[in-house]
Each structure stands twice: as C-alpha cells, then as structure tokens.
Amino acid sequence: MSKKTVAVLFGGASSEYRVSLWSAASVLKNLDREKFDVIPIGITVSGDWYRVTGDVERVGSDDWWENVGELIPVAVSVSRSAPGFLELRGSEWRRVAVDAVFPVLHGRNGEDGTVQGMLELAGIPVVGCGTLASAVGMDKERAHILANAAGVAVPRSVSFTAGDRKKAVTRAARIGYPLFVKPARAGSSCGVTRVERPEDLPAAMTEALAYDDRGLIEQAIPGVEVGCAVMGREELTVGRVDEIELTGGVFDFREKYVGGSAMIHIPAPIAPETERQIADAARTVYRALDCSGFARVDMFLTPGGDIVFNEVNTIPGLTAHSRFPAMMRGIGLDLSDVLTALVEMAL
C-alpha cells in the first residue's frame, strides 16, 4: 500500500505557541515514516504559514524552525477539486497534495475550531476533533452546559466580560470562596488564578480578560484532579485514569511544562470501581461534546466520591511526558501506535 501524506501543523498565533512546538517535535519524531510521508508546517506567532525544511525533530528547540533552514511560504488550497497546500516557490505557486492534516496546535487559533473549519471547508481530512467539538471544547462555559445536560456534574460558575464585572462579583459571592477565575477560552492554565478573598477577585478577573474577552468565575471543587484519555469515533478506547497530586493550589503552566512540585500518578491510586466511573463520565462528556479522534477529559474527584467535570482538551499535549500518551501507555499503546491510529481514523 502506498504511503499517505500527512501535514503536521504546529506553532500558531496563540499564547500556547511554545507548548505546540514541544508537542509537535514529539509527533514528528514518532509518526511512522514507513506508513506516512510527513510535511511539517509551522505557523508563526504573527500567523504566517511556512513549510519547514531541515532537522524537524529540533522544532521543539525554542524558535529554531523560524531561523534555520529554508522556509517556504504556504497557504491552504480551499478548492475541493485541488485539496492540499499551495507553496510559493520564487514567483510561482505550486500545489502539494496531502491526504490528511494533523493540527498539533494548542489554544486559540488552532484548537478552537478555526483551523478545523478551514480544513473541512477544503475537504481535507483532519486528525482529531472536528469544528464543533473543537469550538465547544475550548469554551469552558459551553462545555459545562453540554456536559451537565448529559448528566455529568459541573462546578457552579458565573461568566463575565469587561462590561459586567460588578454584576459578576455580586453573583460570585453567592458561590463562596475559594474560587477559580479563568479565561473562558484558553488552555495550559494561562490566566487562571485561585482566589481566596473577595478583595483579590478584581485583579484575577483582569488577568483572565487579558487572554479572552470573556472570563469564568468558578467554584473550587474539593478533592483531587483526575484525567482520562479517550480515543475513537463510534467505538471508544479509554486509557488509564491519572491523578494529579498538588502541594500548591493550582496546576499551572509552570507545574505542567517547566517543572514544579506536582506529581502525576498513573494509574490513579483509586479503587477499580471509581476508575470505571471516571472512565464512564469521560465517555459521556466526549460524546456530549461531539468529540472524535482523541481528547483528554479532566475532572475532579471529591472526598465523598463525586465526579465533577472540569474541562476537555481536544488537542492534549503529546510530548513524551504528557498525560495523554502516558494514559495510553497504561493500556499498552505507545505514542507511535496512537499516532498511527489517529491518522488512520482521519483517513
């Protein structure tokens, strides 16, 4: 069987640009080259698209890809009769056909349905969630509404914009402290603050609105954070449930990517029946949000054994140390196996 051509997108006009580079380096390293021809396409923070040449496994080394090797400007061909990418070579555009696109883009302008919608319009198969699930998954408020309607508990919350902050502060007092304040549409814990006292709430709201024009004030759920990796369309594969052990109050960007005191236990030190219930809740959320391909569903497990939905990551981290690959290793699937399954699903 002839090899399929897969374009891997990374970078992006997002606050999670660097996280995308780290994930993409891992994807580029672990994609099976006996099955797939790979075209790396980097997107700068300013939103320019380039085909990348050179040692692509060094993509994760800061901004290496922008400064070394030939960068060929590219654009998506949105004509369904000629799907793929257009490369600018000198003064001429040349079409490069692809069989699928793998967006390894975290956060806004990549994980939120914008890129998925463009590729679906062009008739190009997309690895991972489609436009609807990507958009809803990025929007924590809307995701909570759908998960709750499907029967999964969610934290009490109130949303706010710059124009209705005072009203939101009044409503937040009814939820009670401590609270979490976060952007409605952002990832990697960017702009998230744990608030213990009413006087600290305004500053936290300002921080959240630096990342999005809508924020969320949310009830702090007691207990531990657990996660569940889900992969598939009609038939779902679920990885082992993990648990995050925190010494501080927030599993923030530093704890996730730079290194801190948090410990991640896989499998989670919980009873088998509790793990089954968490996996069932993850499946329910996955289907309620119309996810496909893969996603990581994050939840809270309270001291009383209640399971409360937190958020879904429709393009979770894919580095060697990320939670999604680790959960899948827990059921015997290495990252190369997972990536092959995801691309074949899209095809």
More reliable by pLDDT, 288 or 168: 288
The pLDDT confidence band at residue 255, using thresholds 50, 70 and 90, is very low
The pLDDT confidence band at residue 257, using thresholds 50, 70 and 90, is very low
Q: Find the mean pLDDT for residues 203-210.
A: 94
Per-residue pLDDT, 69 = 66
Q: Which two tokens stand for residue 64?
A: 């290496």
The CA-based diameter of the chain, rounded to the nearest angstrom, is 66
Q: What is the mean pLDDT of the chain?
A: 91
Residue pair 220/142 in contact by the 8 Å Cβ criterion: no
Q: Find the mean pLDDT for residues 88-110.
A: 93
Per-residue pLDDT, 138 = 94
Q: Find the mean pLDDT for residues 87-116.
A: 94
Per-residue pLDDT, 62 = 62
Q: Find the mean pLDDT for residues 23-47.
A: 94
Task: Note the pTM of the prediction, 2 decimals.
Answer: 0.91
CB crowding 92-124: b at 16 or more within 10 Å, else e? eeeebebbbbbbbbbbbbbbbbbbbbebeebeb
What the chain holds in terms of domains, given with CATH numbers, is 4-127 (3.40.50.20), 137-153+222-346 (3.30.470.20), 157-219 (3.30.1490.20)
In whole angstroms, give the CA distance from residue 138 to residue 135. 5
User: Could you tell me what percent of the chain has a pLDDT over 90?
Assistant: 76
In whole angstroms, give the CA distance from residue 344 to residue 125. 10
The pLDDT confidence band at residue 90, using thresholds 50, 70 and 90, is confident
Per-residue pLDDT, 1 = 63
The pLDDT confidence band at residue 258, using thresholds 50, 70 and 90, is very low
Per-residue pLDDT, 288 = 98
In whole angstroms, give the CA distance from residue 328 to residue 231. 9
Per-residue pLDDT, 187 = 67
Q: Find the mean pLDDT for residues 251-261.
A: 49
Per-residue pLDDT, 104 = 97
The pLDDT confidence band at residue 341, using thresholds 50, 70 and 90, is very high
In whole angstroms, give the CA distance from residue 232 to residue 119. 20
User: Could you tell me what percent of the chain has a pLDDT over 70?
Assistant: 93
Per-residue pLDDT, 320 = 79
**4-13, 60-69, 129-138, 318-327, range with the lowest pLDDT:** 60-69
Residue pair 139/184 in contact by the 8 Å Cβ criterion: yes
More reliable by pLDDT, 165 or 254: 165
Taking the CA atoms of 29, 31, 36 and 38 in sequence, report the sign of the dihedral they define.
Answer: negative
